[in-house]
């Protein structure tokens, strides 16, 4: 730390472009603020602080009015306090983790004063006596909100307002807010949604949360790529008139179901609202991955075929749940898969539920070209051959459909 003190106090340093500090023991707050002041003097552009403090950390006002900072990441435990008035004239990227927003130090102009902000992450924060939390910024293109269930001071009693008319990428993972007041996202390319069930909520609160989730999903009607969790579909399926009140997703070309899918009826109802799903080059995905806490797009395979999964929840009785789920109008079902070109199954074990999905797709996807099967690690070579023989013998609407079976790499 003495070395850092000496380095930042030197007057022969012209400027510092990037500075990142990771420290897992308490640091004197005055000392940290002194470093920040010197970094601002040196016209720091990208600043990242990952600190484990013994008490809440107050962000100095000098940082909040810096004219040089372009990127700021703060992850400081146990909590971060911001001054009431901030102004980042050149800030484009703001990632905040562990901020404690209170009614005394919060105003709805907090983000709107960042005139060129494009990328905002709010992760694992606390809202103390805040009845309304507003994110308003016309330049915002990327917004990620991570609000885990363990956070007792989440959005349960707070309305979330988002006014970002030029938003292109939206991620929301965690507890449901009391209410959502959202602008129309006309330029939305991708949305990743994973609402967690609030087990501590009262019956009245849960009724309100179902309505809030439904309202949230309705605002995504112009999205191109939607990743939605099974538990979000379960929340939606509770609402009366769930199907009737869904918008038509004319612009949705790619759908990814995260977690093991357990809600057939809700899923099929949702698919019926996407008439243009699956043009050539788009993927109909089912994975058992969670919506990522952090983006992990490096090395992503963007070819026509990607890993999918029609999973089965642990302990689920496929036969009991399947009967009602598959009493579907034939014409409507055919329309669901009208433009499907490729589909793949991840961790495929050949259980009855997976086979039902295969049959449904094969029976209705007239333009299907390829079905990829990625076997579960529990399958041996003999089991794979039996599954392949069964699938190959199934009737299909597309005579040109090709099956490809891949063994689990493990």
pLDDT for residue 403 is more than 70: yes
Which is more confidently placed, 53 or 306? Answer: 53
Check the CA dihedral 102-105-107-113 and report its sign: negative
Stretch 193-199: mean pLDDT, rounded? 85
Q: How confident is the model at residue 289 (pLDDT cuts 50, 70, 90)?
A: low
Which is more confidently placed, 400 or 104? Answer: 400
Nearest-angstrom CA–CA distance, 102 and 82: 10
Q: What is the pLDDT of residues 228-269, one digit of tens each?
A: 888 888 888 776 666 667 788 889 888 887 766 666 777 777
pLDDT for residue 215 is more than 80: yes
Q: What is the pLDDT of residues 133-162, one digit of tens each?
A: 999 999 999 999 998 756 556 687 889 999
pLDDT for residue 218 is more than 50: yes
- Per-residue pLDDT, 310: 33
- Per-residue pLDDT, 223: 94
Stretch 25-43: mean pLDDT, rounded? 92
Residue with tokens 């809600």: 263
Cross-strand pairs, 77: 52
Contact yes or no for 233/267 (Cβ under 8 A): yes
Nearest-angstrom CA–CA distance, 93 and 153: 25
Question: Which of 391, 332, 337 lies closest to 365, judged by CA?
Answer: 337
pLDDT for residue 36 is more than 90: yes
**Topology, domain 16-188:** 3.80.10
Label residue 131 exposed, middle or buried (CB < 10 Å: 0-12, 13-18, 19+).
Answer: exposed
Residue with tokens 């010197």: 38
Nearest-angstrom CA–CA distance, 330 and 334: 6
Q: How confident is the model at residue 112 (pLDDT cuts 50, 70, 90)?
A: confident
Tell me the longest C-alpha to C-alpha distance in the chain: 78
Q: Please give the order of strands across the beta sheet that includes 159-163.
A: 132-136, 159-163, 179-182
Q: How confident is the model at residue 331 (pLDDT cuts 50, 70, 90)?
A: very low
- Per-residue pLDDT, 410: 52
pLDDT for residue 224 is more than 70: yes
Q: What is the pLDDT of residues 292-321, one digit of tens each?
A: 544 443 333 333 323 333 333 333 343 334
Residue with tokens 């991840």: 346
Residue with tokens 């005139």: 115
Taking the CA atoms of the chain, what radius of gyration do you get in angstroms? 25
Q: Please enumerate in sequence order all residues whose Cβ is within 8 A of that of 139, keeping only pairs 6 or more positions apart, or say none.
A: 115, 116, 117, 118, 166
Residue with tokens 């003097």: 41
- Per-residue pLDDT, 285: 46
Nearest-angstrom CA–CA distance, 372 and 345: 6
Q: State the Cα angle at 293 between 406 and 40, rounded to 5°.
A: 135
Q: Strand locations in 104-182, DSSP E?
A: 119-123, 126-128, 132-136, 142-147, 159-163, 169-175, 179-182
Record the tokens describing residue 77, joined without a space: 């435990």
Q: What is the pLDDT of residues 344-390, one digit of tens each?
A: 787 788 878 788 888 888 888 888 888 888 888 888 888 888 888 88
- Per-residue pLDDT, 316: 37
Q: How confident is the model at residue 282 (pLDDT cuts 50, 70, 90)?
A: very low
Nearest-angstrom CA–CA distance, 152 and 149: 7
3-state class (DSSP) for residue 243: coil
Question: Which of 272, 231, 233, 281 lies closest to 253, judged by CA?
Answer: 281
pLDDT above 70 as % of the chain? 77
């Amino acid at each position: 730390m003495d070395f850092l003190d000496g380095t930042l106090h030197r007057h022969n340093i012209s400027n510092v472009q990037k500075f990142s500090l990771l420290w897992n023991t308490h640091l004197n707050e005055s000392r940290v603020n002194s470093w920040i002041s010197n970094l601002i003097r040196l016209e720091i552009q990208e600043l990242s602080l990952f600190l484990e403090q013994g008490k809440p950390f107050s962000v100095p006002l000098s940082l909040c009015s810096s004219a040089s900072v372009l990127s700021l990441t703060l992850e400081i435990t146990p909590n971060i306090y911001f001054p009431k008035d901030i102004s980042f004239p050149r800030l484009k990227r703001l990632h905040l983790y562990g901020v404690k927003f209170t009614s005394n130090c919060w105003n709805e102009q907090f983000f709107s004063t960042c005139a060129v902000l494009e990328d905002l992450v709010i992760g694992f924060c606390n809202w103390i006596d805040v009845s309304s939390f507003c994110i308003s910024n016309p330049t915002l293109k990327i917004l990620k909100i991570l609000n885990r269930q363990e956070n007792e001071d989440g959005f349960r009693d707070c309305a979330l307002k988002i006014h970002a008319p030029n938003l292109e990428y939206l991620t929301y993972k965690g507890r449901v807010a009391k209410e959502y007041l959202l602008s129309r996202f006309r330029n939305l390319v991708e949305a990743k949604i994973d609402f967690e069930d609030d087990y501590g909520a009262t019956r009245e609160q849960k009724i309100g949360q179902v309505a809030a989730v439904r309202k949230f999903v309705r605002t995504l009607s112009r999205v191109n790529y939607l990743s939605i969790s099974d538990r979000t579909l379960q929340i939606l399926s509770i609402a009366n008139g769930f199907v009737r009140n869904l918008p038509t997703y004319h612009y949705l070309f790619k759908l990814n179901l995260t977690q093991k899918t357990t809600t057939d009826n809700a899923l099929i109802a949702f698919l019926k609202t996407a008439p243009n799903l699956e043009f050539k080059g788009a993927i109909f995905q089912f994975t058992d991955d969670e919506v990522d806490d952090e983006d992990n797009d490096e090395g992503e395979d963007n070819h026509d075929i990607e890993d999918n999964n029609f999973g089965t929840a642990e302990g689920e009785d496929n036969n009991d749940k399947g009967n009602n789920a598959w009493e579907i109008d034939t014409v409507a079902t055919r329309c669901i898969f009208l433009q499907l070109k490729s589909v793949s199954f991840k961790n495929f074990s050949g259980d009855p539920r997976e086979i039902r999905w295969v049959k449904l797709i094969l029976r209705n996807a007239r333009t299907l070209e390829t079905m990829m099967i990625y076997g579960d690690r529990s399958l041996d070579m003999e089991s794979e051959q039996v599954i392949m023989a069964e699938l190959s013998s199934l009737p299909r609407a597309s005579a040109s459909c090709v099956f490809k079976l891949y063994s689990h790499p493990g």
